[in-house]
Amino acid sequence: MKIPCSFCFTASVKKRTNQEMPEGDNDGSFRVYSYSELKSATRGFHPSEKVGEGGFGSVYKGRLRDGSLVAVKVLSVEVESMRGEREFVAELATLANIKHQNLVILRGCCVEGSQRYLIYDYMDNNSLHHTFLGSEHNRMRFSWEARRDISIGVARVLAFLHEELKPHIVHRDIKGSNILLDRNFTPKVSDFGLARILRDEKSYISTRVAGTLGYLAPEYANSGQVTRKSDVYSFGVLLLEIVSGKTVVDAFQDTERFIVEKAWAAYEANDLMRLVDPVLNMNFPEEEAKRFLMVGLRCVQETSKLRPRMSEVVEMLTNNIEMEDNVHISKPGFVNDLRNIRVKQKISSSLGESSSSGATFTSSMFSTNLAR
């Protein structure tokens, strides 16, 4: 199935995108927007309309002529590395033809000079990172039931991408800022600029390791090998965040900087419940909270083959399958030393394995460019 806006980028890019297109249904709502439409909708991309900014561009709130609200992502193409074009194509190839209640809806695209625009449904409650982890006051808005529903919703869409969709899709950047929330706080996974399509059971080897500090699976950071278990690791970290209300990396502490370290310390001390967000004020089912934390720890185990598949995660979170009380959980892995990765990236570049500028890790509190 071809992308609806196949004429809006170069022939070489079009060919690559059509070859990688996953099977899915398109309801015909995808369209190509004119630049003038988007400029008018965002009041000339006025700074007051900016609602977000990530590694791949800025996002603006807009109101179309029919009165509907949209989010407009602006991607600038860097000619030398083609960054921006890659993310544009990846997003189109992933979202233009598949639908899921927990996927953000891609309405269309636009090309204007070196700018690429992606148009989505507007999400009233921004991202999970912005709305949930912004402050203690924000977290008080999220009851245990809301946290449970968000966790299960994200797990279900990852199970869909990993196991139901053909070919499989690995997101590669699951984190709080890429989980958007609609007016009913329904989670919508977004930002597929790093996504990779996996055919059969094969893995993908990336010479441009990219992701977010704290969410990055150790085997991916060490070898560049991308599998569905890479997303499982990132989801496990996100789940620990949702239950605990703690940020993935605490840049202001000298010890136990990573949430997986804190969770493992609590598990070893047989005191997992100390990790549950205190703003819940004990208004949660203890057994369910413990089960969610155990699932999170199973997802972040250092050995990828020990991590569950996302369909199993859904079953455990919804309590459709029993979790054994005596199940052995191995120590989690995490990336805590970026210097080795930087060295590997330089070696790969010198051998001509990658034309990219290197790997970039970002978080709301910490940003390190590994291409120096």
C-alpha–C-alpha distance, residues 232 and 229, integer Å: 5
Beta-strand runs (E) in 55-195: 57-63, 69-76, 106-112, 115-121, 168-170, 179-181, 187-189
Q: Name which of 121-125, 172-176, 233-237, 366-370 the model is least confident about.
A: 366-370
Average of pLDDT values for 236-249? 94
Average of pLDDT values for 173-181? 94
User: What confidence category does residue 372 fall into, taking pLDDT thresholds of 50, 70 and 90?
Assistant: very low
User: Taking 60 as the threshold, does the pLDDT of residue 330 lie above it?
Assistant: yes
Average of pLDDT values for 111-137? 89
CB of 162 closer than 8 Å to CB of 170: yes
CB of 371 closer than 8 Å to CB of 221: no
- Mean pLDDT of the chain, nearest integer: 80
Classify burial at 277, counting beta carbons within 10 Å of its beta carbon; exposed 0-12, middle 13-18, buried 19 or more: buried
- pLDDT for res 202: 58
Instruction: Write the Ramachandran bin of 281: left for phi over 0, alpha for psi from -120 to 50, otherwise beta.
Output: left
Share of the chain above pLDDT 70, in %: 73
Distances (CA, A) of 100 to 106, 108, 195, 349: 11, 17, 16, 38
- pLDDT for res 285: 93
- pLDDT for res 6: 39
User: Taking 80 as the threshold, does the pLDDT of residue 264 lie above it?
Assistant: yes
Higher per-residue pLDDT: 80 or 187: 187
- pLDDT for res 66: 92
User: Taking 80 as the threshold, does the pLDDT of residue 2 lie above it?
Assistant: no
Q: Name which of 41-55, 169-183, 313-327 the model is least confident about.
A: 313-327
C-alpha–C-alpha distance, residues 185 and 213, integer Å: 26
Residues 295-298: contacts with CB within 8 Å, 24+ apart?
295/236, 295/239, 295/323, 296/236, 296/237, 296/239, 296/240, 296/243, 296/263, 297/236, 297/240, 297/263, 297/264, 297/267, 297/329, 297/332, 298/236, 298/327, 298/329
Sign of CA dihedral 141, 147, 153, 154: positive
Average of pLDDT values for 364-368? 29
The question of whether 182 is a catalytic residue gets the answer no
Give residue-wise pLDDT tens across range 225-237. Answer: 889 999 999 999 9
User: Taking 70 as the threshold, does the pLDDT of residue 9 lie above it?
Assistant: no
User: Taking 80 as the threshold, does the pLDDT of residue 248 lie above it?
Assistant: yes
User: Taking 90 as the threshold, does the pLDDT of residue 320 lie above it?
Assistant: no
Give residue-wise pLDDT tens across range 210-219. Answer: 678 789 898 8
Classify burial at 136, counting beta carbons within 10 Å of its beta carbon; exposed 0-12, middle 13-18, buried 19 or more: exposed
CB of 22 closer than 8 Å to CB of 92: no
Average of pLDDT values for 85-101? 82
Instruction: Write the Ramachandran bin of 251: left for phi over 0, alpha for psi from -120 to 50, otherwise beta.
Output: alpha
Q: Which of 27, 121, 173, 182 is catalytic?
A: 173
Give DSSP secondary structure letters for 331-352: PB------HHHHHHHHHHHHTT
Position 206: which residue type? S
Total residues found in the chain within this entry:
372
User: Taking 90 as the threshold, does the pLDDT of residue 338 lie above it?
Assistant: no
- pLDDT for res 82: 67
The owner of tokens 């807009």 is: 62
Instruction: Say if residue 166 carries a ligand binding annotation.
Output: no
Give residue-wise pLDDT tens across range 128-166. Answer: 999 998 778 889 989 999 999 999 999 999 999 999 998
Beta bridge pairs of residue 53 = 58
